[in-house]
Amino acid sequence: MNIAIATDKFQHSGGMERYVFDLVQGLLALQITPQVFAMKSSAEFTALCPTHTLGQFPIAQLRYAVFNAKVQKRLPENHKLIATSLVDNADILICGGNHLGFLQATKRKATIKDKMTIKRGISAYATAKKIVTHSKKMADELQQFYHVAKDKIITIYPPVNSENFYPLSNEERQNLRQKFGFSDNENILLFPSANHQLKGLDLIIETVQSAQKDVHHPIKIAVCGKQAIQHPLIINLGFIKNMPELYNAVDFTVLASIYEAFGLVGIESVLCGTKTIFATTCGCTEVIKDTDGLFFNRMQPETLKQRLFKADKMKLENNYRIDNPQDYILYNPTLSHHIDKVLEII
């Protein structure tokens, strides 16, 4: 089978870029070598397979339209197209988020760039043969905002490479805590983010400050992302490439996202044995068992405060780690299973 993949960035960046990297590796494992078409790419990624780096058009409002035109011109006729970018005529269009849903959730007024992105999305969804959403939340939004037919949409939750994400021993975790500078008596909450405002950092800081005087273990927020934050509660880690180490080193992972189509970090965290304090706005809460009652309503900050108290008690009683991660996940997150599901519908 000949497969082409169209994506915005074929390099380390966010969740969708990591998904494309895994998708390529999964196809290669089946002796399928895809061709990738991207605006931007890195040497590490392009070493995997033939890559066509088509450039990023300098005028942001026209960027997606120009990229779509280039892909349509360059795409070989005998290739099936899997797209994570908003390009037309995809055999499978992967939807990890949508712009109209994002604008509604953030209550932001649409700019010219937003309107152009929405227009491109309408065309891409209309011309795609099948659309794979990474959560039921996204499937619902495509029907609500873009009037996509229900039978055109299939929800397949995204994969995680379980060979990389798994719990480490207590001794290994202790060594990692020293490596990252985490104190034993502190409750370290990991905040993985490329957009702190969207992921709800302000709400988390405010709530932690409110809860701090009533907990046994002082709470610190370990921010993993390029944007540094100057605040007494914050430990700035910068961009971390080895995320499995970090998930294992911390005590909990926290997100209070205004809008989160899925949130692969939630699954990665659980697979490393680290429980998640997540807002129910995160799509991944559909498939993580809230056995410990740590999910919260971001519209009711008091619920986050109560979850912080619960997490503090769990750390005090030493029952805050996950021994059997797969018991907490309601789908098969292995890459091979995901690739099989995608190939079934292409």
Same domain membership, residue 216 and residue 202: yes
Residue 194 falls inside a structural domain:
yes
The two tokens of residue 266 are 């939630």
Along the 346 residues of the chain, how does pLDDT read in single tens digits?
A: 999 999 999 998 878 898 999 999 999 999 999 999 999 999 999 999 999 999 999 998 999 999 999 999 999 989 999 999 999 999 999 998 999 999 999 999 999 999 999 999 999 999 999 999 999 999 999 999 999 999 999 999 999 988 899 999 999 999 999 999 999 999 999 999 989 999 999 999 999 999 999 999 999 999 998 889 999 999 999 989 899 999 999 999 999 999 999 999 999 999 999 999 999 999 999 999 999 999 999 999 999 999 999 999 999 999 999 999 999 999 999 999 999 999 999 9
Same domain membership, residue 150 and residue 42: yes
Residue 311 falls inside a structural domain:
yes
Do the beta carbons of residue 305 and residue 256 sit within 8 Å?
no
Residue 164 falls inside a structural domain:
no
Give the residue numbers spanning the domain of 200: 170-328
Which residue in the block uniquely carries the two structure tokens 């540094």?
228
Q: How far is CA 143 from the centre of its chain?
A: 22
Same domain membership, residue 337 and residue 324: no
Same domain membership, residue 207 and residue 152: no
Query: First vs last Cα of the chain: how many Å apart?
Result: 10
Same domain membership, residue 218 and residue 247: yes
Residue 120 falls inside a structural domain:
yes
Residue 162 falls inside a structural domain:
no
Same domain membership, residue 320 and residue 341: no
pTM: 0.91
Handedness of CA 65, 69, 70, 72 (dihedral sign): positive
Helices 99-106 and 136-146 meet at what angle, rounded to 10? Answer: 90
Count structural domains, the chain. Answer: 2
Residue 163 falls inside a structural domain:
no
Same domain membership, residue 177 and residue 303: yes
Angle at 267 between CA 265 and CA 271, to 5 degrees: 115
Distances (CA, A) of 269 to 18, 69, 93, 328, 333: 15, 38, 27, 11, 13
Same domain membership, residue 292 and residue 153: no
Residue 104 falls inside a structural domain:
yes
Q: What does the DSSP assignment read for 212-246?
A: GGG-SS-EEEEEESSS----TTEEEEE--S-HHHH
Which amino acid, 224?
C
CATH of the domain at 213: 3.40.50.2000
Residue 243 falls inside a structural domain:
yes
